[in-house]
Structure 1
Amino acid sequence: MWGVPIDDSRQMLVVAVVLSTLAGYVDALGFITLGGFFVAFMSGNLTRFSVNFADAAWAPALTAAAVIGTFVLGCALGAVVVHLSDRRNLAVRTTVLAVVTGLLIIGSVAATFGASTVAVGAMLLAMGAENSFFQRDGEVTIGLTYMTGALVKMGHRLAGALFGGPRWAWLRHFALWVGLVVGAVTGALAHHWIGLDALWFGAALSAALTATVHLRIERSTRRPQLS
């Protein structure tokens, strides 16, 4: 399904951590811009929607609903990209990253011209689409923009280690969590520095990751031909 896979699990973990870092970075920018709504972490938005709905605070409830709906559209976009890329025998992971990068660039341009609503919309679509990077058989195998699942798995792996299971299996989930935290802290600091224009750094990171994954796939493609 993936064309030529990146078959090294350590490399894939590194990519996942970088993507989690990107998600944390963009989420922090969105959180500050929206005044307390997330562009990557939808559970928080759902809680805000529910509480505001119960309090008849319609404006923030509608904001939360719009944010969640746009994120879902981004997830659907990522799934469509995976489906179409697979049918055309394209490198699916590279294509997904290219779409994420393109959306972040659109958001960065919008931020530069002061169109923060457009910028936030592009950020939401990008974060939704990013989760399709690890989609397989219609299911997301690694969540990149939310850490609840990773923390649950980390706790289970820690318990397993106490009873004779793999000693360090929890570290991969911990690494995802650390990546998100580092990205969020960096995003907050960058926003304090230059505002939403800091999204350009996120777009640059996404572009660099896209190029790296593409080159890795290219090398994997050529390797059999050189033997």
Structure 2
Amino acid sequence: MARTEPDVRPRTTTNGPDGLLRRRHTLVVVLTFLTGCADAVGFLALGGAFSSVMTGNMVLLGMSAGRENAELAVTSGSAIVSFVVGVLAGARVAGAARPGDPVWPRPVTRALLLELGVFLVFLVVWEVNLPEHSDNVDLVLLMLSAAALGVQSSAIQRFGVPGLSSTYLTGTLTSLIGGVAARSPWHTLRPKIQILLALMTGAAVGALVAVHLTGWAPVLLLVPLVSVIAVSARMPQEPAVEAPGAP
């Protein structure tokens, strides 16, 4: 009886290096959509500050001093402090990038679970205080949202990929324009375009919900996050092999 040789030909699968890197990028795009939603809700419905754009909040804090606007100072300053607390908590849970890390390390998902817990508190506070929130409740909600996105920011840093972020994207825009000017290949520009479009789309959807469907705002923040957690929990944990040119 002839012996059958094992099939050792390489296979391209969704769990191969390219597939895993693309999946990670897609999940980061979804988290960036969440960021846009949260920033729009925070700015339009929670006192006029941002949940993730700390550069903008620092500008608002400076403006509040020049305009002698104590309310704006409290709002923007509270968002900054809450974001910092979220970053510290997220960094403690997610840890730092290590040699031999998988494409999506488990601590990243654990940090996102922490973010989910903060947003669940956000949901309870939001719904209990409908149909209208007092200024104090709005401030608490903004602080919760900023803390959650601070956790998310630290979680993405665990990947150890320079320039990869779902919360602070001025560098992404700068890199994109620089790449266009240098006539970089399309496959290096596409991931940056996707991230920026996700942010703007999320902001548009978040603004629509904040203005016209106020009660649904927390759901808009929870659904993308739960989806990312569900998918990332099934990501393989073998050491990553970065594919050249992959996002």
Q: State TM-score, norm by structure 1.
A: 0.82
Q: SS of 1:169's equivalent?
A: helix
Contact preservation (8 Å) 1:82, 1:96: yes
**Residue 63 (structure 1) shift:** 2.1
Q: SS of 1:215's equivalent?
A: coil
Q: 1:50 aligns with which of 55, 62, 86?
A: 62
* Aligned position for 2:180: 158
- Whole-Å separation in 1 of the counterparts to 2:193 and 2:64: 33
Q: 1:126 aligns with which of 132, 148, 160?
A: 148
**Residue 141 (structure 1) shift:** 4.6
- Whole-Å separation in 2 of the counterparts to 1:139 and 1:72: 21
- Whole-Å separation in 1 of the counterparts to 2:114 and 2:235: 18
**Higher helix proportion:** 1
* Aligned position for 1:97: 112
Provide the aligned length of Structure 1 versus Structure 2: 209
Contact preservation (8 Å) 1:103, 1:126: yes
Q: 1:13 aligns with which of 25, 33, 44?
A: 25
Q: Tell me, which stretches of 5 or more residues in structure 1 are unaligned?
A: 222-227
* Aligned position for 2:83: 71
Q: State TM-score, norm by structure 2.
A: 0.76
- Whole-Å separation in 2 of the counterparts to 1:140 and 1:101: 25
* Aligned position for 1:184: 203
Residues 1:110 and 2:163 aligned together:
no
Q: 2:157 aligns with which of 121, 131, 135?
A: 135
**After TM superposition, which residue ranges in structure 1, 4 or more long, deviate above 4 angstroms?**
137-141
Stretch of structure 1 that moved more, 139-148 or 198-207: 139-148
Q: SS of 1:37's equivalent?
A: coil
Stretch of structure 1 that moved more, 9-18 or 196-205: 196-205
- Whole-Å separation in 1 of the counterparts to 2:28 and 2:160: 18
Contact preservation (8 Å) 1:6, 1:12: no
Contact preservation (8 Å) 2:108, 2:158: no
Contact preservation (8 Å) 2:33, 2:203: yes
**Residue 50 (structure 1) shift:** 0.8
Which residue identity is paired with 1:208? S
Rg bigger for which structure? 2
* Aligned position for 1:40: 52
**Residue 109 (structure 1) shift:** 1.0
* Aligned position for 1:169: 188
| Percent of pairs with identical residues | 25
Query: CA deviation digits over 1:10-50, x for unaligned, max 9?
Result: 11211111110010011111111223211111111111111
Computed over aligned residues only, the root mean square deviation of the Cα atoms, in angstroms, reads 2.5
Using a 3 Å threshold, how does the CA distance of structure 1 residues 81 and 139 change in structure 2: closer, same or farther?
Answer: farther
